[in-house]
Amino acid sequence: MHARILGLAAFAACLAMPAIAAVALSDAAGSYTISPAGSSIRFTIGKAGGGGFDGAFGRFKGTIRIDNGDVGRSKVDLTIYPESVGTGQGRIDAFLKSDAVFDAANSPEIQFRSTSVTRTGDTTALVTGRLTARGKTFPEKFTAELDGLKGGTIKFHVTGKVLRSRYGMDVGTPLYSNVVSFDMTLMGKRG
């Protein structure tokens, strides 16, 4: 009896899984422009003695292209304007924008260009790419999870960790962790 129910469940799962995946991919395929209104780019840096400090970038732009036949050929481009950084504390914002950290006056853009997208699950993918900040470029990895697909909009939840010291932003270590944890919601609009 149990075996039969299990067998039935397994059969149903086999039937259902590829179907969802296939539908999601063909539905999702296309080019999207990241909409700042529905998106957010937040980050957290741990502090010695516990806690951490949070911030977000207010201005950014980018595109997401999902390949119809091959997810691996999908592409993500993201440009962040560090001048728009906000932490809720004006003095910290000024510090972050200064040449102590972002040097926003001389390096007004932080860019991410994906080089490969690997599907890791039904709704998840590993996005590898090149991150450029303050004139330095290094490969970085982000995890993207499909968070919604409706009408002409697609939403991803993207997380990843970046070592800031590599980009000439090591000020404050070890008081503040070298690891910057990103938590982004990227909403794309078709077209």
Partner 1 sequence: MQSITNTATRYGWAMIILHWLIGIIFIGQFVLGFVMVRIESQRTSFELIQLHKSFGFLLLGLIILRIAWRLRNAAPPLPPSVGNLERRTAPLAHFALYAFQLALPLTGWALVSVSTLEIPTMPFNLFVMPNLPLTESDASERFWASAHWYLAYAGIALVALHIAAALRHHFLLRDSVLSRMITPSSAGE
Q: Where on the chain is the footprint of partner 1 (CB under 8 A)? A: 47-49, 51, 53, 89, 91-92, 94-95, 98-101, 171-172, 174-176
Q: Of 51 and 151, which has the nearer Cβ to partner 1?
A: 51
Q: State the chain's maximal CA–CA distance in angstroms.
A: 70
**Least distance from C-beta 124 to partner 1, angstroms?**
35
DSSP 3-state of 15: helix
- Tell me the closest approach of the beta carbon of residue 172 to partner 1, in angstroms: 7
Distance CA 175, CA 190 (A): 43
Which runs of consecutive H residues, i.e. helices, occur in 29-115?
Answer: 90-97
In whole angstroms, the minimum distance from the beta carbon of 129 to partner 1 comes to: 28
Nearest CA to 31 out of 79, 72, 74 is that of: 74
Query: Which residue, 4 or 91, is less far from partner 1 as judged by CB?
Result: 91
Distance (Å) of CA 152 to CA 1, 27, 136: 45, 10, 35
Give 22 or 94: the residue with its C-beta nearer to partner 1: 94
Least spacing, CB of residue 174 vs partner 1, in Å: 6
Q: Which two tokens stand for residue 79?
A: 């440009």
Looking at the Cβ atoms of 21 and 171, the one nearer to partner 1 is 171
